Structure 1
Amino acid sequence: MATPAPDVSAIGAALRSPAATVGEADVEKLRLIEELTSDVDAVQERVLSEILGRNAGAEYLTRCGLDAGDTGRATFRAKVPVVSYDDLKPYIQRVADGDCSPVLSTHPITEFLTSTGTSAGECKLIPVAMDDSGRRQALHGLIGPVLKLQVNLFYMAQGQYVPGLEKGKGLNFMFVKSETKTRGGLTAWFALTSVYKSKQFKSMANAYTSPTAAILCEDAFQSMYAQMVCGLCQRHDVVRVGAVFAAALVRAIRFLQLNWGQLAADIEAGELGPHVADPSVREAVSGILRPDAELAEFVRIACSKGDWAGIITRIWPNTKYVDAIVTGAMAQYIRTLQYYSGGLPIVSTSYASSECFFGINLRPMCDPSEVSYTIMPNMAYFEFLPVGEVVDATNLVDLARVEVGREYEVVITTYAGLSRYRVGDVLRVTGFHNVAPQFRFVRRQTVLLSVELDKTDEAELHRAVERASSALLRPRGVSVADYTSRACTERIPGHYVGSTGSY
Structure 2
Amino acid sequence: MLNFIKRLAGRPIANRARRLAAEFLDQTNRAGDVQRDLLLSRIARNADSQFGRDHHFHEIRTPADFRKRVPIGDYNRHEPYIDRVRRGDVSALFGAGTDVLMFAMTSGTTNRPKTIPVTREALKDYREGWTIWGILAFDGHPNMIDHGLRPILQIASDWRESQTAAGIPCGAITGLTASMQNPLVRTTYCMPACASRIKDVESKYYVALRFSIARDLGTVIAANPSTILGMFRLGDRERETLIRDLHDGTIDAKWSIPDDIRKQLRFRTRIRRKATAKRLEAIVEETGRLLPRDYWPNLEFLSNWMGGTMRAYLRGYPEFFGDKPVRDVGLIASEGRMTIPIEDGTAAGVLDIRHHYFEFIPEEQGDLAEPDTVEAVDLIEGRNYFIILTTAGGLYRYNIFDLVRCVGFHGKAPVVEFLNKGAHFSSLTGEKLSEHQVVAAVEAAQRAVGIRLRSYLLLPIWGEPPSYGLLVETSDLPETQGADRFTAAVEEQLRALNVEYACKRDTLRLGPVRTIRLPNGAWGEFQKRRLARSGGTVEQYKQPHLIPDTNEINSFSVLDSVAP
Equivalent position to 1:268, from 243, 247, 251: 247
Pairs within 5 Å for 1:6-155: 27-64=18-55, 66-100=56-90, 102-107=91-96, 108=98, 110-117=100-107, 122-152=112-142
CA distance in 2, matches of 1:264, 1:124: 41
8 Å Cα contact 1:178/1:218 also seen in 2: no
Structure 2 match to 1:447:
425
CA distance in 2, matches of 1:162, 1:184: 43
CA distance in 1, matches of 2:467, 2:370: 36
Shift of 1:26: 5.1
Q: Deviations over 1:333-361 (max 9, x none)?
A: 10112321012112213222111222210
Could you say if the C-alpha distance between residues 163 and 104 of structure 1 is closer, same or farther in structure 2, counting changes exceeding 3 Å?
A: closer
Structure 2 match to 1:297:
278
1:384 alignment partner AA: F
Q: Deviations over 1:351-382 (max 9, x none)?
A: 2211122221011x2x2xx3201112121210
Could you say if the C-alpha distance between residues 354 and 122 of structure 1 is closer, same or farther in structure 2, counting changes exceeding 3 Å?
A: same
Matching of residue 489 in structure 1 with residue 503 in structure 2: no
**TM-score normalised by the chain length of structure 1:** 0.78
Q: Deviations over 1:21-58 (max 9, x none)?
A: x9755542332122211011001110111011111122
CA distance in 2, matches of 1:490, 1:54: 56
CA distance in 2, matches of 1:95, 1:242: 32
8 Å Cα contact 2:328/2:341 also seen in 1: yes
Could you say if the C-alpha distance between residues 403 and 68 of structure 1 is closer, same or farther in structure 2, counting changes exceeding 3 Å?
A: same
Matching of residue 209 in structure 1 with residue 198 in structure 2: no
2:468 alignment partner AA: S
Pairs within 5 Å for 1:419-498: 419-445=396-422, 446-448=424-426, 465=462, 481-489=464-472, 491=474, 492=520, 493=522, 496=553
Equivalent position to 1:185, from 159, 167, 172: 167
Matching of residue 337 in structure 1 with residue 317 in structure 2: yes
Q: Secondary structure of 2:304's partner? A: strand
More strand by share: 1
Matching of residue 256 in structure 1 with residue 247 in structure 2: no
Structure 2 match to 1:229:
210
Question: Which has the higher mean CA deviation after the structures are superposed, 328-337 or 167-176?
Answer: 167-176
2:349 alignment partner AA: Y
8 Å Cα contact 1:77/1:394 also seen in 2: no
Structure 2 match to 1:12:
none
8 Å Cα contact 1:324/1:348 also seen in 2: yes
8 Å Cα contact 2:385/2:403 also seen in 1: yes
8 Å Cα contact 1:244/1:325 also seen in 2: yes
Higher RCO (C-alpha 8 Å, min separation 6): 1
Q: Deviations over 1:48-80 (max 9, x none)?
A: 11011111122223223x252423122211121
Structure 2 match to 1:155:
none
Shift of 1:138: 2.2
CA RMSD, Structure 1 to Structure 2 (Å): 3.1
**TM-score normalised by the chain length of structure 2:** 0.71
Structure 1 match to 2:305:
325
Give the percent of matched residue pairs that are identical in Structure 1 and Structure 2: 19
CA distance in 2, matches of 1:28, 1:286: 37
CA distance in 2, matches of 1:112, 1:211: 21
Q: Deviations over 1:186-222 (max 9, x none)?
A: 222123233333x136663211222223334334344
**Please, which runs of 5 or more residues in structure 2 have no aligned partner?**
1-12, 427-434, 440-453, 475-519, 524-551
Q: Deviations over 1:445-481 (max 9, x none)?
A: 12158999998886xx6xxx5xxxxxxxxxxxxxx54
Pairs within 5 Å for 1:267-416: 267-275=246-254, 278-287=259-268, 289-303=270-284, 311-363=291-343, 365=344, 367=345, 370-389=346-365, 390-391=367-368, 393=370, 395-416=372-393
1:105 alignment partner AA: F
Q: Deviations over 1:235-272 (max 9, x none)?
A: xx212234332111111112112211111112222333
CA distance in 2, matches of 1:293, 1:188: 40
Could you say if the C-alpha distance between residues 142 and 280 of structure 1 is closer, same or farther in structure 2, counting changes exceeding 3 Å?
A: same
CA distance in 2, matches of 1:342, 1:134: 36
Matching of residue 196 in structure 1 with residue 178 in structure 2: yes
Q: Deviations over 1:97-118 (max 9, x none)?
A: 2334x22221435144344326
